[in-house]
């Protein structure tokens, strides 16, 4: 039997089970241009995204960076066929144009920065929706295990019976991340995954993603694929922590792409963001260094600093009282 996956007018044949390691890139993109609306724009300047080309090898993690309105979310949506586009997109070696929605959903899970909440499903029911693409290949017990695992990893077991309309923004973000995990795909596409999370859950999510991207996922057709993370970030520190490679978008075009060690520089960041990014990022580091130094102080040093702070507060209170 041929090792090539059978394709036809209706898409990939997932009926054929073969246990093998996939060597195809997670995404291969050539001359991608995308737009919003039903009609193709009349000129190239009216495209939201223009002539983007890049490759994401399986097992790598890609951070997509750029200022607001540069085309990052448009790129993420175009990669999975949510937006109309022209050019060539291949997912794990198969042209996107030949894939059905279910087949795409078996390969890629997308977590948007906008969460639909116009219904009162429970947390568990919402996470269970991530199992739709696996319904034909998985069992009820495997579905339940995947949902339970996703709820546990995102700290949502205690909230699983709550309607999502009663949740905070951060809790809601964790619910839709859990749904993406429950989908059990080898590719995760995340749009600002920590924007509503507090510091504790930001750190936990970062650790969970770092662990997840070291693993592999078996597709319904039997291919074993290294996990691949594609993440839009405004938080540069998170992007550098999670990503092997970086892709910068500005004004709808590709500004730079490559291994983060090779392309990251102050001139590039200044060109993308119009400011001295390293200088800005270092402004708060002094505060954190001082707090760490304070933690390492001896008992005598801490008592002396506490006395100085008390004297300062007393002086300030005295000034306030006199002004009255």
Q: Where is mean pLDDT largest: 35-39, 80-84, 139-143?
A: 80-84
Which tokens belong to 171? Answer: 């809790």
Judge contact between 52 and 33, C-beta under 8 A.
yes
- How many CA atoms, within 13 angstroms, populate the side-chain half-sphere of residue 39? 4
pTM higher than 0.75: yes
Judge contact between 151 and 160, C-beta under 8 A.
yes
Judge contact between 188 and 109, C-beta under 8 A.
yes
- Indicate whether 151 pLDDT > 90: yes
More confident residue, 50 or 18: 50
What pLDDT does residue 6 have?
36
Judge contact between 64 and 249, C-beta under 8 A.
yes
Q: Where is mean pLDDT largest: 22-36, 114-128, 277-291?
A: 22-36
Rounded percentage of the chain residues whose pLDDT exceeds 70: 84
Residues 6 or more apart whose CB falls under 8 angstroms from that of 171 comprise 156, 159
Question: How far is residue 171 CA from its own chain's centroid?
Answer: 16
- Indicate whether 3 pLDDT > 70: no
What pLDDT does residue 189 have?
96
Residues 6 or more apart whose CB falls under 8 angstroms from that of 259 comprise 244, 245, 246
Element containing residue 56 per DSSP (H, E): strand 49-56
Contacts 24+ apart (CB under 8 A), 154-160: 154/178, 154/181, 154/205, 154/208, 155/201, 155/204, 156/123, 156/127, 159/123, 160/122, 160/123, 160/124, 160/127
- How many CA atoms, within 13 angstroms, populate the side-chain half-sphere of residue 118? 2
- Indicate whether 16 pLDDT > 70: no
Q: Which pLDDT band holds residue 246 (cuts at 50, 70, 90)? A: very high
Which tokens belong to 120? Answer: 């009162």
Q: What is the mean pLDDT of residues 184-212?
A: 90
Terminal CA-CA length for the chain? 90
pLDDT mean across residues, the chain? 86
Q: What is the mean pLDDT of residues 160-171?
A: 91
Element containing residue 55 per DSSP (H, E): strand 49-56
Question: How far is residue 22 CA from its own chain's centroid?
Answer: 23
- How many CA atoms, within 13 angstroms, populate the side-chain half-sphere of residue 94? 26
H-assigned helices in 154-194: 169-182
Q: What is the mean pLDDT of residues 280-308?
A: 75
SS (H, E, C) 58-125: CCCEEEEECCCCCCHHHHHHHHCCCCCEEEEEEECCEEHHHCCHHHHHHHEEEECCCCCCCCCCEHHH
What pLDDT does residue 17 have?
44
Among 57, 105, 106, which residue's Cα sits nearest to residue 82? 105
Among 280, 78, 58, which residue's Cα sits nearest to residue 191? 78
What pLDDT does residue 284 have?
78
Kindly report the number of other CB atoms within 10 A of residue 67's CB atom: 16
């Amino acid at each position: 039997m041929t090792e090539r996956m059978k394709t036809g007018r209706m898409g990939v044949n997932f009926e054929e089970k073969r246990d093998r390691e996939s060597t195809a890139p997670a995404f291969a993109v050539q001359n991608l241009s995308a737009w919003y609306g039903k009609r193709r724009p009349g000129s190239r300047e009216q495209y939201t995204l223009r002539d983007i080309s890049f490759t994401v090898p399986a097992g790598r993690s890609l951070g997509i960076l750029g200022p607001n309105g540069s085309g990052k979310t448009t790129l993420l949506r175009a990669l999975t066929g949510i937006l109309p586009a022209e050019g060539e997109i291949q997912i794990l070696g198969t042209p996107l144009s030949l894939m059905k929605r279910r087949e795409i959903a078996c390969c890629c899970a997308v977590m948007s920065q906008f969460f639909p909440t116009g219904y009162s499903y429970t947390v568990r029911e919402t996470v269970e929706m991530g199992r739709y693409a696996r319904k034909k290949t998985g069992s009820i017990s495997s579905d339940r295990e995947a949902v339970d695992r996703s709820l546990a990893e995102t700290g949502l077991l205690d909230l699983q019976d709550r309607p999502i309309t009663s949740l905070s923004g951060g809790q809601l973000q964790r619910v839709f991340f859990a749904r993406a995990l429950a989908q059990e795909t080898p590719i995760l596409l995340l749009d600002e995954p920590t924007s509503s999370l507090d510091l504790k859950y930001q750190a936990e999510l970062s650790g969970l993603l770092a662990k997840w991207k070291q693993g592999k996922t078996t597709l319904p057709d039997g291919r074993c694929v290294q996990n691949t993370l594609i993440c839009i970030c405004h938080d540069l520190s998170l992007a550098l922590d999670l990503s092997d490679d970086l892709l910068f978008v500005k004004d709808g075009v590709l500004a730079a792409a490559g291994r983060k060690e090779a392309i990251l520089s102050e001139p590039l960041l200044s060109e993308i963001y119009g400011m001295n990014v390293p200088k800005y990022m270092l402004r708060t580091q002094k505060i954190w260094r001082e707090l760490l130094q304070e933690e390492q102080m001896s008992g005598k040093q801490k008592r002396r600093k506490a006395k100085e702070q008390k004297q300062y507060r007393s002086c300030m209170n005295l000034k306030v009282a006199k002004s009255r």
